[in-house]
Structures are given as C-alpha cells and as structure tokens.
Copies of this chain bind each other. A is one copy, B any other.
Amino acid sequence: MALIVQKFGGTSVATPDKIKAVARRVLGYKQQGHQMVVVLSAMAGETNKLVDFANQMQEIPDQREMDVLLSSGEQVTVSLFAMAVKEAGFNAVSLLGDQVRILTDDLHTKARIKKVETETIRRALAEDKVVVVAGFQGVTETGEITTLGRGGSDTTAVALAAALEADQCEIFTDVDGVYTTDPNIYGKARKIKKISYDEMLELASLGAKVLDIRSVGLAKRYNVPVHVRSTFTDEEGTWVVKEDKSMESMLVSGVTYNKNEARITLSKVQDTPGIASRIFTPISDAGINVDMIIQNTRAGDLTDLTFTVPRSDFKRAMQIVEKIGSEIGAERVTGSDDIAKVSIVGVGMRNHSGVATTMFHTLAREGINILMISTSEIKISCIVEEKYTELAIRALHDAFALDQEPVEEEL
C-alpha cells in the first residue's frame, strides 16, 4: 500500500463528465489499496473568465481580491470530485488551502508555500477517505487567501507529496511526458523515460511547459520523484527524479528552443569600470529582465556589448538603450527580434568534453551562424537567426542520436 499524490490540471476536469472520468481513474488506485491524495486545478477556462471579470472591475485588479476571486475555481472542482467519489461508493473529503492549512507568505497572486500542515489530511486518510485538495491556493498566518500563480497546482501537489512523504507524486496533464524535443518540430522526438531535476529545470525554463518550474525546484529540494503523464492514456510518462549514474551516460537529454527573446548590441563602448552598471541599471529599473549578456573585447579600450531581453520588452528596451548609448558615446545601437535560442541540455555533459564542439560543428555544417553562446554546467545555448530554429533542432537531435533509447536507462 502506497501513499500517492495525483494532480489533474484544468483540461482534465473541464466538465462534470471529465471530473467523473478522473474520479474513476483515481478509484482504480484506491481499489488497489493505495491511500490517495488528489490535487485539482479549476475547470479549464474558468480562471480566464474570472480574470476577465476582474479586468472589467479595475484597471489593475487588487491582488488580495484577485486571490479571493481565483481561489473559487478549485473550490468547485474539488467539491464536485468528492461527490463523484462518494457516488461510486467510496468515502471522500474536499479540502481548501486554508482547511489543509497550506501556509504561504502574503505575496498575493504569486505566494510561496512556507509550510504544509498534514494533520487534517492524515486523519482523513486514516478514515479511509480519498482526500481532494484544492490546488493553486494557500492561506497566510492571518487567514488571508493566497494563490501560487499560474501552474501553482503542480507546486501544491509536490509540496503535499513532500510534506506527507508520499511514495509517489503524479502530475496528470494533456501531454504524455517530456520529449527530447518538440514533437511538432521533429517527428523523431522521443519521450524521455527518466530525467533529472536539474535537466528538467533547464528544459522548463527554456520553454518545455510540461511542469511548472517552481514545482521542479521543490521536488528537487525534498527529493520527491515526480511522474508526469497523460490524463487520457494509461501509458507511463516521464519520471523526474534525482540524478543517477544511468543518466550520465547520456551526453544530451534534450534539445529545446525559445523564440521569445530579442537581441540588442551596443557597439564600440568605452570599456571603463562601471559601464555595465550604467547600462543595465535603467533596464532593470524598467522591469525588463536581461537573459544572456556577452561582451567582446575590441582593439584598444573599446568593447561591444550584446544582450537579450524578452521580445515583448524589445521596443521599450531599445528606447532606453539608445538614450544611454548616446550618453556614453557608443558608436551604434542595433537590435533584432528575429532570433531564437536553441539549447542542448544534459547532465552527462558535465563529465564529457566535446559536447560543445559537436554542437558548434553541427550548426556550422548546416550553414547556421551562431550569434551568441552561453553555457551552464548542464546546458549550452546558442542564439541563431530565427529562421534556422527548426533546422538547428533537427540537426542537433540527429547529431546526439536522441531518437535512440539510451541502453543504460532503466528506472
């Protein structure tokens, strides 16, 4: 008998019939003798409807009231789900964030979990109940309702699994796992059976939107094995787990991309102390996040400085940088938003040289010019012209033989 936490997203509980189907699935586990804790999101579309209402009320909706508003969505799904379980002849109880006592800080609409109390859940499990917890929501010490931000239900599930020391945490979603790359771009993409937390973090932040990135960090911290899988099939999905030996044999686990960045270059800037601060302070003051920064030394005391910003902030960032550029006597400010970031991720590259060389060689062979490079311990990213994105992905996927099941991989 295991204690299993299962989370189902908004598309899985979008209608009364879908809620019943999910309840049947959960009861399959219950009938095998497992203790079940189910975390649910709001019905798909419901949150957007409520946000739309809020925007009709207030130009910038009050964050505290937004949380009161949005947390109503999960209240509907968990109570309906508990009814469906009861109708099937089992016992169940729904619990809201403040009833479990999922304690958070008071950063409304993006609160962080501080503590999960487990007494109420444990008592309900001891009474043989299926425990149905509202995802996405928590409560402050003073009884204010908070929400954890989009994707917060994943975090709720992982936090509950950690606090309850669950044997297993399963995230059911509308995709069936994490792939070596976007299957829409390359048909040879292969579902990954097992991936490390760190690789998942790099993939998530790069755009593989299978699992909320905060939940991966939490799972890593408390060493919770997370199984990401499809609501609509019985197939195994992808296990996100602690790094193990077998993973190291894979040089690269996946190829990912991001088309949401734009690039800005300041040419021939005086390379004096404090110049970077002079440039980046007003950008950060404007609330714009800078991602990659590269500085090339030129002859003399001149330097070229290139960096990327979110594409949605590109115009605003250009205005700021053009102003600074003229103030500090840069020769030129140029920018383009038709770029893409292509990255390879893998814990194996930590112990193997030559991965970067293979990447650069592969791109060169396809005639793809690399505009910027940045690396971390388990990731190499190249900025290329946007039009080459798909070509680069396919070439890299082939170069690292990602369509091949790794021989050593076993769960």
Residues of A within 8 A of B (CB): 16-17, 19-20, 50, 53-54, 56-59, 61-62, 64-66, 68-69, 71-73, 75-76, 78-80, 82-84, 86-87, 93-94, 96, 98-99, 143, 145
Instruction: Please judge, given known A-B contacts A68-B96, A94-B65, A143-B99, whether A57 and B75 are in contact too, CB under 8 Å.
Output: no
A56 / chain B contacts, CB cutoff of 8 Å: 16-17, 20
Q: Is the CB of A75 within 8 A of B84?
A: no
Instruction: Please judge, given known A-B contacts A75-B72, A82-B62, whether A57 and B96 are in contact too, CB under 8 Å.
Output: no
Q: Is the CB of B16 within 8 A of A53?
A: yes
Instruction: Please judge, given known A-B contacts A62-B86, A75-B75, A86-B62, whether A53 and B80 are in contact too, CB under 8 Å.
Output: yes
The CA-CA distance from A94 to B66 in the complex, in Å, is 11
Of residues A17, A68, A143, which shows the largest number of chain B Cβ atoms within 10 Å of its Cβ? A68
A76 / chain B contacts, CB cutoff of 8 Å: 50, 53, 69, 72
Q: Is the CB of A72 within 8 A of B72?
A: yes
Nearest B residue to A60, CB-CB: B87
A19 / chain B contacts, CB cutoff of 8 Å: 57
A82 / chain B contacts, CB cutoff of 8 Å: 62, 65, 68
Question: What's the nearest-Cβ distance from chain B to residue A60, in Å?
Answer: 9
The CA-CA distance from A385 to B38 in the complex, in Å, is 58
Nearest B residue to A56, CB-CB: B16
Interface of A, helix, strand, loop or mixed by DSSP: helix
Additional A-B contacts beyond A59-B87, A62-B82, A98-B143 (18; CB < 8 A) = A17-B56, A19-B57, A54-B79, A57-B83, A58-B84, A58-B86, A62-B83, A62-B86, A65-B82, A68-B75, A68-B94, A68-B96, A69-B76, A69-B80, A72-B75, A72-B76, A75-B75, A99-B143
Instruction: Please judge, given known A-B contacts A65-B94, A75-B68, A78-B68, whether A16 and B86 are in contact too, CB under 8 Å.
Output: no
Instruction: Please judge, given known A-B contacts A62-B82, A82-B65, whether A87 and B57 are in contact too, CB under 8 Å.
Output: yes
Question: What's the nearest-Cβ distance from chain B to residue A346, in Å?
Answer: 45
- List of 9 A-B pairs having minimum Cβ-Cβ separation, nearest first: A57-B83, A69-B79, A68-B79, A16-B56, A72-B72, A72-B75, A58-B87, A58-B83, A65-B79
Nearest B residue to A59, CB-CB: B87
A66 / chain B contacts, CB cutoff of 8 Å: 79, 83
Question: What's the nearest-Cβ distance from chain B to residue A77, in Å?
Answer: 9
A53 / chain B contacts, CB cutoff of 8 Å: 16, 76, 80
Q: Is the CB of B54 within 8 A of A80?
A: yes
Question: What's the nearest-Cβ distance from chain B to residue A117, in Å?
Answer: 12
Of residues A19, A78, A79, which shows the largest number of chain B Cβ atoms within 10 Å of its Cβ? A79
A61 / chain B contacts, CB cutoff of 8 Å: 83
A75 / chain B contacts, CB cutoff of 8 Å: 68-69, 71-72, 75
A62 / chain B contacts, CB cutoff of 8 Å: 82-83, 86
The CA-CA distance from A286 to B98 in the complex, in Å, is 40
A-B contact pairs, 27 of them (CB 8 A): A16-B57, A17-B56, A19-B57, A20-B56, A54-B83, A57-B84, A57-B87, A58-B84, A64-B93, A65-B79, A65-B82, A65-B83, A65-B94, A68-B75, A68-B78, A68-B82, A68-B94, A68-B96, A69-B76, A69-B79, A69-B80, A72-B72, A72-B73, A72-B75, A72-B76, A98-B143, A99-B143
A68 / chain B contacts, CB cutoff of 8 Å: 75, 78-79, 82, 94, 96
Question: What's the nearest-Cβ distance from chain B to residue A87, in Å?
Answer: 4
The CA-CA distance from A93 to B295 in the complex, in Å, is 50
A58 / chain B contacts, CB cutoff of 8 Å: 83-84, 86-87
A65 / chain B contacts, CB cutoff of 8 Å: 79-80, 82-83, 86, 94
A79 / chain B contacts, CB cutoff of 8 Å: 54, 65-66, 68-69
A87 / chain B contacts, CB cutoff of 8 Å: 57-59
